[in-house]
């Protein structure tokens, strides 16, 4: 279950940012997770709840926005929703697609409480 490793990395980013900004506590953590990033959001939420214990983010709310997968066909230029990495272009049936959205995994925002 790699979601625990992801949760630990997120909390490292949050703790480091809180410390650099001399925050007493982290109130909210806002994340963006792509639908094609290979992350199970319920498992990530569960692991974040465990990982944030004994950190400045102990009582922080976790807010996850899932980003839709989107692909672009270089053959015809069509941009379309993707549910899988390997999908044919809905317009020309081309198979060499480039992903333009959906593999994100980032900390978008951290809301902190100052001393």
pTM: 0.88
Q: By C-alpha distance, which of 115, 107, 100 is closest to 15?
A: 107
Whole-number pLDDT of residue 84: 86
List the domains of the chain with CATH numbers: 3-114 (3.30.2320.80)
Q: Which residues of the chain have pLDDT under 50?
A: none
pLDDT computed for residue 87 by the predictor? 83
pLDDT digits (tens, 9 = 90+) for 71-81: 999 999 999 99
pLDDT of 97 reads 84
Q: What is the pLDDT of residue 107?
A: 98
Q: What is the pLDDT of residue 24?
A: 94
How far is residue 100's CA from residue 104's CA, in Å, rounded to a whole number? 10
Question: What pLDDT was estimated at residue 95?
Answer: 84
Q: Which residue pairs from 70-79 have beta carbons closer than 8 angstroms and sit at least 24 positions apart in sequence?
A: 70/99, 70/100, 70/101, 70/102, 71/97, 71/98, 71/99, 71/100, 72/97, 72/98, 72/99, 72/100, 73/97, 74/98
Structure confidence at residue 1 (pLDDT): 58
Minimal CA–CA distance to 105: which of 18, 24, 39?
A: 39
99/32 Cα distance (integer angstroms)? 16
**What is the C-alpha to C-alpha distance for residues 69 and 34, in angstroms, rounded to an integer?**
7
């Amino acid at each position: 279950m790699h979601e625990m490793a992801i949760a630990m990395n997120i909390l490292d980013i949050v703790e480091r940012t809180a410390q650099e900004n001399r925050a007493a506590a982290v109130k909210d953590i806002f994340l963006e997770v792509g639908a094609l990033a290979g992350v199970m959001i319920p498992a990530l939420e569960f692991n974040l709840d465990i990982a944030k214990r004994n950190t400045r983010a102990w009582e922080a709310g976790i807010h996850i926005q899932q980003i839709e997968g989107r692909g672009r066909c270089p053959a015809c230029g069509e941009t379309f929703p993707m549910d899988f990495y390997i999908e044919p272009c809905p317009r020309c049936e081309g198979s060499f697609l480039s992903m333009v959205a959906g593999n994100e995994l980032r900390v978008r925002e951290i809301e902190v409480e100052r001393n």
